[in-house]
A = this chain, B = another copy of it.
Amino acid sequence: MKTASPGTKAKICEAAISLFTSQGFRGTTIRQIAQKADVNIALISYHFGGKKGLLEELVMSFYEGYVRRLEVVYHTSTKETARGALMELTEKLLSYQKNNLELARFVHREMTLDSTLIRELMSTYLAKEKYYLNAFFEKGIKRREFKRQSVDLLSVQYKEMIVLPFLQPLYLTEVFHLPVGENVFYRDYQKWINSWIERFVCVPEKKPSILSNVLFGSVQEKWGG
């Protein structure tokens, strides 16, 4: 019998993501995962307690990393402005998902289903996501950088844009002819979200006079302050 090595869990996860993505969760057996990962089937039960446990672990590990990025940018961004911090967040969330592409696609799709597990994960991770997104927008509104409006609406729209290339990649390739998955795509897509931030979220910039820059330019609090 093959024994657990530090890489075993990772190998099992990788095999599971790939099979769940191509065959669906229901269409995949524990045996197929063991075969693809080249591990003994008993190790999957040992590490994850079965197929459902494996799914839970995958979704949780995705959202742990996702929510951590929200927390980190919110609490430690060194950007001067709310606008800058939100753009930094966009870059972080897109590149996190890009670096975990198959997992991101699988998790977002899985979250469109209805089950007790999904409901639990929703009320844990997506509630945290909403909490931080609302906090970003509220802070920007308080600083008078963002227009006063429903933060729930802003959070939903922002979240949908962040998730779109992973939940509905074909929609962007077939209908908008965007090269989803290529590096150039992420750069352009980020610009797209930034243009949304500039136009929909921010108070239109008044060209500041040199005098007001001198007088008020340096008193503005930093984001992280």
A26 to B109, CA, bound (A): 15
Residues of A within 8 A of B (CB): 23-24, 26-27, 108-109, 111-114, 118-119, 122-123, 126-127, 129-130, 147, 149-150, 152-153, 156-157, 160-161, 164, 167-171, 174-176, 192, 195-196, 199-200
Residues of B within 8 A of A119 (CB): 170, 174
Q: Which residue of B lies closest to A152 (CB)?
A: B176
Contacting pair A156 B152 (CB below 8 A): no
Q: Nearest 3 A-B pairs (CB), nearest first? A: A122-B174, A160-B160, A126-B175
B122→A171 contact, CB < 8 A = yes
A122 to B, closest residue via Cβ: B174
6 A-B residue pairs with CB within 8 Å: A109-B113, A126-B174, A130-B175, A147-B199, A153-B195, A156-B161
* Shortest CB distance A74–B (Å): 18
| Residues on B with beta carbons closer than 8 Å to the beta carbon of A130 | 175-176
A170 contacts which of B118, B129, B195 (Cβ < 8 Å)? B118
Q: Give the residues in chain B near A156, CB-CB below 8 Å.
A: 161, 164, 176
**A27 / chain B contacts, CB cutoff of 8 Å:** 24, 26-27
Write out the residue numbers on chain B whose beta carbons fall within 8 Å of the beta carbon of A127: 174-175
In the complex, chain B residues whose CB is within 8 Å of the CB of A129: 175
Contacting residues, chain B, for A109 (C-beta < 8 A): 109, 112-113
Chain B residues contacting A118 (CB-CB under 8 Å) are 170
Q: Which of B160, B169, B195, B196 contacts A164 (CB 8 A)?
A: B160
Residues of B within 8 A of A152 (CB): 176
In the complex, what residues of B have CB within 8 A of residue A175's CB? 122-123, 126-127, 129-130
Chain B residues with CB below 8 A from A200, complex form? 200
Picked from B126, B171, B176, the residue with its CB within 8 Å of the CB of A171 is B126
Determine which of B26, B123, B192 lies in contact with A153 in the assembled complex, contact meaning CB atoms within 8 Å: B192
Q: How far is the CB of A184 from chain B (nearest CB, A)?
A: 17
Q: How far is the CA of A200 from the CA of B201 in the complex (A)?
A: 9
Residues of chain B within 8 A (CB-CB) of A26 are: 23-24, 26-27
Docked Cα-Cα span, A67 to B112, in Å, equals: 23
Which B residues are in CB contact (< 8 Å) with A111?
A: 168, 170-171
